[in-house]
Amino acid sequence: MSGPAGIPLIEVKNLVKHFPITSGIVFQRKVGAVKAVDGVSFSVQPGETLGIVGETGCGKSTTARLLCRLLDATSGSVLFEGEDITKRKGSALKALRRQMQMIFQDPYSALNPRKTVGSIIAEPFVIHKLLTGEGERRKRVQDLMDRVGLNPEHYNRYPHEFSGGQRQRIGVARAIALDPKLLIADEPVSALDVSIQAQVLNLLRGLQRDLGLTLVFIAHDLSVVRHMCDRVAVMYLGKIAELAPSDSLYGFPRHPYTGALLSAVPVPDPLGGRRERQLLTGDVPSPANPPAACRFHTRCPKARELCSQQEPPLEDKGGETLAACHYPLTREEVRLRLPAALTRGSDAAASAGELA
């Protein structure tokens, strides 16, 4: 799925987004900040799929909104085809919207219930003043409906007349209407039944192949991510804990947090035998007051004194894997804690990924 190495389509450098916490009703004063995204860096090559995973509140959806400028960054930069887009405004920002689009998590709230499906999918053409002829626009919309697996004859129906999976297909059709280069999917199947999830995922993969799309895929389901993504970034409390090719991440995770997430994945493994589950203790700390140094050290089973004193850099751990950990997992620890079907990439694990 990935494109050739070279100039990234999108490159993120030290991206930060803090939401201020204020006190008082009339004379509001800042008393702190929620550090939703706190120094994130990564790049995505043309044609590649990058997955971003983590627990609720880790900052993955905020990162997605920063990429497409639905939120303004506190600091840092987002380079799209080599150009920093964080300062774009007005018509320049509007022009950028044609190149990157977003698919939202909830297909029920992402569509205007008062508009027909035809007018919803046609919205990008209206906003950008394209296909001004009614007949030409209708034909293009119906072609898009057919491409995503919807009946073009349902052009004049309203969103409530469609199922959840069909509504998400409407959102996909709207997102690809302007032939964007980048598609950001923010947990696009988490609100759907398991049987429908595979259909939508296969649709996205087919569109990526046919249209040459670059995809940033946000999710918390690790089986889905393995099925979809070339590389995976694991986030914890606003920072990237590990960034690795999909096979490397699932075969030999280095960060203890990644290992804990993978040890909880249910995988049919009749040959794997017993394994030790890595259970995390305590609650996720508040992003308004994250732990000093390594943010994971308060829950990490391998934490030592250094972890509470010095923040680990995101550095090369071998096999194209970057991890922010002073004491990364060993192969023996991975063997004991992860299901063998998951680490060896067996047919059972692949089937689980396609069905999850």
**The two three-digit tokens of residue 51, written as one number:** 């997955």
Class (C level, CATH) for 10-99+180-355: alpha beta
Q: What does R_g of the chain's alpha carbons equal in angstroms? A: 21
| 58: amino acid identity, one letter | C
Higher pLDDT, 141 or 27: 141
pLDDT at 308: 95
pLDDT at 280: 79
pLDDT at 2 over 70: no
Q: What is the DSSP string of 275-299?
A: ----PPPSPPPPTTSPPSSSTTTTT
**In contact, 278 and 27? CB cutoff 8 Å:** no
Closest-CA residue to 52 (of 210, 182, 193, 242): 242
Which residues neighbour 18 within 8 Å (Cβ) at sequence distance 6 or greater? 33, 34, 35, 36, 38, 74
Give the single-character DSSP code of 157.
-
**In contact, 99 and 181? CB cutoff 8 Å:** yes
Q: What is the mean pLDDT of residues 24-51?
A: 90
Q: Which residue has the tokens 């302007």?
A: 178
Q: What is the mean pLDDT of residues 195-221?
A: 93
pLDDT at 341: 52
pLDDT at 335: 84
**The two three-digit tokens of residue 55, written as one number:** 């627990």
What confidence category does residue 102 fall into, taking pLDDT thresholds of 50, 70 and 90? very high
pTM: 0.90
pLDDT at 354: 37
pLDDT at 272 over 70: no
